[in-house]
Amino acid sequence: MSCWSLPPSLGQVVDLAPIDDADGSRWLALTADGAIAELDPDNDRVAVLATVELVDEPGHTPWMDRQLRRRLHASACGRFAAVVDDYGRYGRVVDLGRGGVVTLALDGGDYHANTVPFSLAFARVDDRPLVVHRTRWNRLDVSDPATGELLTAREFEKTSEQQRPAHHLDYFHGRLLCSPGSRVLADDGWIWHPVGEPSVWELRPWLDGNVWESEDGPTRQRLCFRDYYWNGPLCFVGDGLLAVGGIGDDDETILPGVRLFDVASGRELATFTGPAGDWFSNGRRLYSAHTDGLHVWDPLTGHRTGTVPGFVPTCLHRGTGELAAVADGVLRRCRPA
């Protein structure tokens, strides 16, 4: 376990995100006053790169105790960051290489936005950074984070008032994840009324062939259905497997545990109880951040292979394999076996 004290002048850190492609252990931190700082603990260096101003959301009403909170996302290269309101509608994408200039103002709409984290994930295709983000409750788009250019333009054909247009998706997009190789996207959203339905689809066909891939494309798989249950643990295990949290059919009977799915076929491969909290994976192990510390699992057999008591990470650095969290002004890092 490595512990590194942050300078008091930085202020309160409210979220942490890894710079996965960095040479060594480097991170972005978001402070309570909107500053984005780069943390380089091995060289004892902190550099404030930008300050982001977000649109306030007065009158926000929490749903099921889901409180509005600021969330930081970082591109793997570290040049771009996004600050969004989870369980809200607004966010900003900024270019840290240009001093934090806003390249994309995000608005996911206000229709039941308080039920889901803001849908956003950075990806990379052919060495080009991309950002996938919600633009309406039932629509996702891909944009260029350097320019804000929309890459998935599409329009519904006009129909009568009684008829839904082709490709209409009755789905509230939720937490969005991109697989380590940017091959697959996972969406932890819900359908009316209300049923959680995690789904997956491939990114490249969406960009290169079918602009409707995220709505009803041939690679889109609907994995399972749980009444009143979503916003649970979710984690890619490599590019081909998705670990979905919660065993059961509705929120009153859900047990903590893993349902492991093949993303290409949508087939459930394994189920085991135990993992709870936030999940992370290096492709070989599944890490679960419980209130009592970190638990390490074999995702294929369900065996728990280790624990790190008292360490509750919030993110994984894919480049170094480190799990990390900031608490009480200290950055804690650990690379479990």
3-state secondary structure 202-246: EHHHHHHCCCCHHHHCCCCEECCCEECCCCCCEEEECCCEEEEEE
Residue 173 has pLDDT above 90, yes or no: yes
> Residue 286's Cα: distance from chain center in Å?
16
Pull the structure tokens for residue 50: 């930008």
Q: What average pLDDT score do residues 103-131 get? A: 97
Domains in the chain with CATH codes: 2-58+65-152+168-334 (2.130.10.10)
Task: Tell me the average pLDDT of the chain.
Answer: 96
Helix (H, G, I), strand (E, B) or coil at 97: helix
Q: What are the beta bridge partners of residue 2?
A: 333
- pLDDT at position 162 is 65
Interval 54-108: pLDDT, tens: 888 988 899 988 999 999 999 999 999 999 999 999 999 999 999 999 999 999 9
Interval 259-302: pLDDT, tens: 999 999 999 999 999 999 999 999 999 999 999 999 999 999 99
Residue 203 has pLDDT above 70, yes or no: yes
CB 62 within 8 A of CB 114: yes
Q: What average pLDDT score do residues 201-214 get? A: 97
Task: Specify the range with the lowest mean pLDDT, choosing from 154-163, 237-246, 257-266, 274-283.
Answer: 154-163
CB 313 within 8 A of CB 280: yes
> Residue 109's Cα: distance from chain center in Å?
18
Interval 3-53: pLDDT, tens: 999 999 999 999 999 999 999 999 999 999 999 999 999 999 999 999 999
Q: What are the beta bridge partners of residue 185?
A: 178, 201
- pLDDT at position 161 is 63
CB 269 within 8 A of CB 241: yes
CA atoms of 215 and 206, how far apart (whole Å):
10
- pLDDT at position 164 is 85
Q: What average pLDDT score do residues 251-258 get? A: 97
What is the pTM assigned to this prediction? 0.96
CA atoms of 6 and 140, how far apart (whole Å):
37
Cβ neighbours, 10 Å, residue 303: 11
Give the pLDDT band of residue 159 (cuts 50, 70, 90): low
Residue 160 has pLDDT above 90, yes or no: no
Residue percentage of the chain with pLDDT more than 90: 93
Alpha helices (runs of H) in the chain, residue ranges in sequence order: 203-208, 213-216
- pLDDT at position 51 is 97
Helix (H, G, I), strand (E, B) or coil at 85: strand
